[in-house]
Amino acid sequence: MKSRLLPLLALALSAAPAQAAISLFAEYHLGETGSFLSNLPQDSSGNGRNFTSINGGAAVTSSLTPAALAGLNGVAGTSTAYLDTTSTTANTEIWTGADYTASLGSDYAFGIFAQVATAPTGQNRNVFSLGSNNGALSISCETNGQWRASRINQAYIGTGQAITANQWVHLAIIRTGGASSFYADGILLGTTDATAPTNTGGLRLSGLGSTAFDGKMDEARIVTFAAGESTANILAALQTGAGVSAVPEPSAYGLLGAGALGAAALARRRSRRSRAE
Ligand SMILES: [Ca+2]
């Protein structure tokens, strides 16, 4: 039986259809029921990458009107609520997560919807970054009136996107093929940055140091993908979670298990048939 099953298993694996090429690494709905626990953004991807601390203040959320980020880049949104850091005077709501440097690999992207009433004064504000140390990829809101992408304290990525007051914009950084690119509402902004980032120090949402982002944030996502994936698919996945594999990374084992079960069933059927013949 075993000698029969192994070749069948190998056949089942080699014949398995290609998996979805984009995987949800982490997803933060930022406002909907269950998206916060003790003021900490919860990861709804199933990977358990919840934020682990808040610098101060509390998570204040509001309902979206209309109740979806519909129509942005032609991609229907599904959000019904967002995170609001404008409504307190503490200005300390800065969330920290774990350091995912080792598990992101070489092809990944992250993005978030954001809006502000006015550009910040005094200092630039981080919105969402993959680390807090110098060299980590960061999306920021800057005193010059622009949204920007950068390796923290090292280099900007592409050009800035002018802030439009009180209007949602989707901001994303895609790292693939040894280059980093910045997108605002799906539009590539200028040049790409070839220097490898150093995404250490832990995930950050709103602010670095002690100064929080003073604005609204929604639907933060991190995805990984196979090299060669289309930019349109990556951006759609970041904006709405569309097109990602149904089950997160450990699904490879699940599919393997399903393949083995299928092969075993096939082996049993063949075994019964051969006995009947
Ligand atoms: Ca939301």
Question: pLDDT per residue over 75-131, tens digit each?
Answer: 557 788 999 998 666 578 999 999 999 999 999 999 999 999 999 999 999 999 999
CA distance 208 to 111: 17
The pLDDT assigned to 42 comes to 98
Q: What is the CA(218)–ligand 1 centre distance, in A?
A: 5
Domain count, the chain: 2
202 and 214 assigned to the same domain: yes
Question: Are residues 11 and 141 both part of a single domain?
Answer: no
Instruction: Say yes or no: 165 and 255 in one domain.
Output: no
What's the mean per-residue pLDDT of the chain? 82
Beta bridge partners of 172: 111, 183
**How far away, in angstroms, is 259 Cα from ligand 1 center?**
36
Give residue 277's pLDDT. Answer: 36
Give the Å distance between the CA of 250 and the centre of ligand 1. Answer: 25
Give whichever of 9-18, 59-68, 148-157 has the largest mean pLDDT. Answer: 148-157
14 and 39 part of one domain: no
CATH number of the domain bearing residue 106: 2.60.120.200
The Cα–Cα gap between 222 and 43 comes to 10
Cα of 16 vs centre of ligand 1, distance in Å, is 35
Question: pLDDT band at residue 192, thresholds of 50, 70 and 90?
Answer: confident
Do 138 and 45 lie in one domain? The reply is yes
Residues 205 and 277 in one domain: no
* 264 within 8 A of 6, measured Cβ to Cβ: no
Q: Which residues contact 220 (CB under 8 A, 6 or more apart)?
A: 26, 27, 28, 30, 41, 110, 111, 112, 128, 205
- How far does the centroid of ligand 1 lie from the alpha carbon of residue 31, in Å? 5
Q: Are residues 9 and 78 in the same domain?
A: no
Same domain, 106 and 169: yes
In this structure, the number of other CB atoms found within 10 A of the CB of residue 105 comes to 12
- Same domain for 128 and 7: no
* Ligand 1 centroid from CA 13, angstroms: 38
The model's pTM is 0.81
Query: Which residue did the predictor score with more confidence, 91 or 17?
Result: 91
From the CA of 42, how far away is ligand 1's center (Å)? 12
Find out whether 207 and 213 touch, Cβ atoms under 8 Å. Answer: yes
Supply the pLDDT for residue 126: 96
Residues of the domain holding 188: 22-244
